[in-house]
Amino acid sequence: MKPLAIVLAIVCFALAVAYWTGALQFGASHPGPHHLHAVLFAVLGVLALVWMRFAGARTT
């Protein structure tokens, strides 16, 4: 589950940067940067990193 959490965190941070700069307009009602969406995706990225940290070790 740790690799999934890392990938999810990277995707969330990339989306946060894209929304912050205004490069991504998916689901937006007006053009320009959407800082609230960027903050939301940054928080989701941090939560994914917390999930990765607390994920249990693999058992064999």
Distance CA 17, CA 45 (A): 11
What is the arithmetic mean of pLDDT over 42-53? 95
Which pLDDT score is estimated for 17?
94
The tokens 């320009």 sit on which residue?
A: 32
The pTM (predicted TM-score) of the whole model is 0.82
Percent of the residues in the chain that have a pLDDT greater than 70, as a whole number: 88
Distance CA 43, CA 20 (A): 13
Which pLDDT score is estimated for 24?
78
Distance CA 5, CA 1 (A): 6
Contact status, residue 55 vs residue 2, Cβ threshold 8 Å: yes
